Amino acid sequence: MTTNGLLTVLLLTIAPCAVYSNCTVGINECDWYPWASWGGCTETCGGNGRQTRNRGICCEADLEYAACVTKCNVPYADGQMSQECGATCFNSGSFHDGICLCVDGFEGKCCENSKCLASATTTTPVPERVCQDPLWRNGIIKDDHVVSSSDAKGKTSAMAQSNCKQRPCGWCPDPKLPIHDQYIEVTFDKPWVIQAIEIQPPEGTDPNSVVRNYMTNYTFQYQPIGGTKLVTYGREHSGPIYMLGVRGNSVTVVSTLTEIQRPVSERIRISVVDAEHHACFRFEIFGCENLCDCQNGGSCISKNTCLCPPPYYGPNCTYIHLPEVGGCLKPLGMWNNKIKDNQLVVSSSAPEQGKEKARYICCAGEINGAWCPAANDTKPYYEVRLTKPHLVAMLMFEQPNVQHYWELPDTYMKTFTLQYHNIYNGAMETYVAGADAIYNATVSYSPILDPYLLTDVIRITPETWEKAPCFRLEIIGCDPDEGPAGAVLPDSSILGRRRREIKYSLRRHPTN
């Protein structure tokens, strides 16, 4: 299909149906959302395990759980539930009165050990350990990776390590800081898959002393790959999940282990929700380096799902939706900041939607994550100034990002006018008007320029849009001095002045 000199490639984004409101359909304000699935059991077998599940409550946008239950006048604890688990015995053993009763020939907590050492085989199933490496214990998390909102005297963030060797152990926040401002944060050297979080009580100098200060509930935040802000785990499902911290009574306290759905992140945060006297704790993060086979520079963002750099797509970034048009198919650098912020010029920007938000694959987890002009801007435009003239072959557009995976964007630019700087007469000239950018909430366009442009400035002027002309994009092209586009494309396929007689190489001035 051609439109005013542009060949159009459609990029389909698969997404479920959208529900765009504060509450899901059928859920009113102050109604509980359905229960989330049960978390992992603290014991694989042999009983005495605990597992938990949580549910969110519908309330005003951006209102946290504690404020919601207060406003709705419902018990705080109604959002949490726990149960016993781990009642599994191997090798035909049976679970009774809290223990495994083993058949003849087997023993152990789970009946996992054979008494007959000469036996060549055993039917004992071995639990599969996938993505369960202890990241702090294995040295992936280093002490200087961990920071906190504040520290009580002598209770630094480095003391939060689960296998702290020197007592007393455990981080404590400054008690003068409001409890909902207390957190501990980890920044990794590179992205890691997060599988589970273990919260442990602090330890005093005397290991037999009763622990009276510990965190009881918390939320987990992570920064998605491609995102700039922390996202609260659970918001993408049924509302923020408030996880169980240390559980205890006047006699004893116990740790909790909570499995999560394997987000991939370089930065995570444990934020205190509630505490017994003082929010002290130790922790361990379990995870792994990779659960994907990402190709072509893609980054793993969840199990078997990659975030793909332009122009690739697909679960493993192995597909390319661009046609074969010579050797001029390289992203010029919106997605990876090779094009710097000072090279971007806009007519205006809406709050929290500045010019840097127009970068391809930007803004994961944000509400309407993209560049948008100010609401009162009657002549919006977006301009990219390259450091030298390049051949521009294609523009790749994306809809704004959304906060929840089930949502679809309802704000985006539909059509635009493309202008460019003619490097030989110094004028801004119109290349095409009425070009397609984004079709709907799931389909975006990648218009191929036919002929190519030789320019150092392109300007996108929105013409039509849905609610507001918001978008993200990448520019596909090449440096003509680095070829081989000129060897493949005829001179007539490059437009840089009124007559199409410009040689591809900038090392020599074109003849008139």
Reported as a single tens digit per residue, the pLDDT across 47-60 is 777 777 777 777 76
Q: What average pLDDT score do residues 96-125 get? A: 63
pLDDT given at position 405 = 56
The pTM (predicted TM-score) of the whole model is 0.52
pLDDT given at position 346 = 97
pLDDT given at position 172 = 93
CA atoms of 236 and 214, how far apart (whole Å): 28
Same-fold call for 2-16+325-495 versus 49-87+129-288 = yes
Q: DSSP label at 458?
A: E
In the block, residue with structure tokens 């597909």: 319
Residue 168: asked if its preceding bond is cis (omega within 30°), the reply is yes
pLDDT given at position 3 = 40
CATH number of 49-87+129-288: 2.60.120.260
CA atoms of 193 and 266, how far apart (whole Å): 9
Residue 451: asked if its preceding bond is cis (omega within 30°), the reply is yes
pLDDT given at position 429 = 93
Residue 61 to residues 64, 229, 491, Cα–Cα distance (Å)? 9, 17, 56
Residue 85 to residues 39, 42, 216, 264, Cα–Cα distance (Å)? 11, 8, 20, 28
| Residue 78 DSSP SS3 | helix
pLDDT given at position 281 = 93
CA atoms of 421 and 512, how far apart (whole Å): 19
Q: What does the block give as tokens for 174?
A: 């400054």
Q: What average pLDDT score do residues 239-268 get? A: 78
pLDDT given at position 302 = 65
Q: Please report which confidence band the pLDDT of residue 10 belongs to, taking 50, 70 and 90 as the band edges.
A: very low
Q: What does the block give as tokens for 412?
A: 């985006």
pLDDT given at position 122 = 34
Q: Please report which confidence band the pLDDT of residue 117 belongs to, taking 50, 70 and 90 as the band edges.
A: very low
Strand partners, 475: 395
pLDDT given at position 64 = 67
Q: Return all residues near 492 (Cβ < 8 A) that are at least 6 apart.
A: 451, 500, 501
Q: What length is written for the chain?
A: 512
More confident of the two residues 205 and 32: 32
150-161 residue pLDDT tens: 999 989 999 999
Q: Look at residues 262, 254, 280 and name the one whose alpha carbon lies nearest to residue 220.
A: 262
Please work out, in degrees rounded to the nearest 5, the angle formed at the alpha carbon of residue 494 by the alpha carbons of 493 and 497: 135
Q: Please report which confidence band the pLDDT of residue 502 belongs to, taking 50, 70 and 90 as the band edges.
A: very low
* Largest pairwise CA distance in the chain: 97
267-323 residue pLDDT tens: 999 999 989 889 999 999 998 887 777 887 777 766 667 777 887 777 778 777 565
CA atoms of 199 and 208, how far apart (whole Å): 19
pLDDT given at position 21 = 37
Percent of the chain with pLDDT over 70: 75
In the block, residue with structure tokens 């997605």: 335
Residue 357 has pLDDT above 70, yes or no: yes
Q: Read out DSSP for 196-261?
A: EEEEE--B-SSTTSPP--EEEEEEEEEEETT-SS-EETTTTTTS---EE--EE-SS-EE-EEEE--
Q: What does the block give as tokens for 299?
A: 């980054």
| Residue 344 DSSP SS3 | strand
Q: Please report which confidence band the pLDDT of residue 497 belongs to, taking 50, 70 and 90 as the band edges.
A: very low
Exposure of 83 by Cβ count < 10 A (0-12 exposed, 13-18 middle, 19+ buried)? exposed
Residue 14 has pLDDT above 80, yes or no: no
Q: What average pLDDT score do residues 479-499 get? A: 46
pLDDT given at position 470 = 96
Q: What does the block give as tokens for 312?
A: 């690739």
Q: Which region holds residue 191: left if phi is over 0, alpha if psi is between -120 and 50, else beta?
A: beta
CATH number of 2-16+325-495: 2.60.120.260
- Check if the beta carbon of residue 419 is closer than 8 Å to that of residue 333: no
Q: What does the block give as tokens for 465?
A: 């849009």
CA atoms of 87 and 192, how far apart (whole Å): 32
Please work out, in degrees rounded to the nearest 5, the angle formed at the alpha carbon of residue 435 by the alpha carbons of 430 and 438: 140
254-282 residue pLDDT tens: 888 888 877 888 899 999 998 988 999 99
Mean pLDDT of the chain: 77
Q: Please report which confidence band the pLDDT of residue 177 belongs to, taking 50, 70 and 90 as the band edges.
A: very high
pLDDT given at position 254 = 80
- Number of other CB atoms surrounding residue 356 within 10 Å: 16
- Check if the beta carbon of residue 216 is closer than 8 Å to that of residue 246: yes
Exposure of 404 by Cβ count < 10 A (0-12 exposed, 13-18 middle, 19+ buried)? middle
For the chain, the domains span 2-16+325-495, 49-87+129-288
Q: Look at residues 66, 425, 121, 130 and name the one whose alpha carbon lies nearest to residue 274.
A: 66
- Helix (H) or strand (E) holding 267, with range, is strand 264-276
| Residue 358 DSSP SS3 | helix
184-231 residue pLDDT tens: 999 998 888 888 899 988 876 566 667 888 998 899 998 887 677 888
Q: What does the block give as tokens for 9?
A: 């490639």
pLDDT given at position 453 = 86
CA atoms of 497 and 119, how far apart (whole Å): 84
Q: What average pLDDT score do residues 356-365 get? A: 88
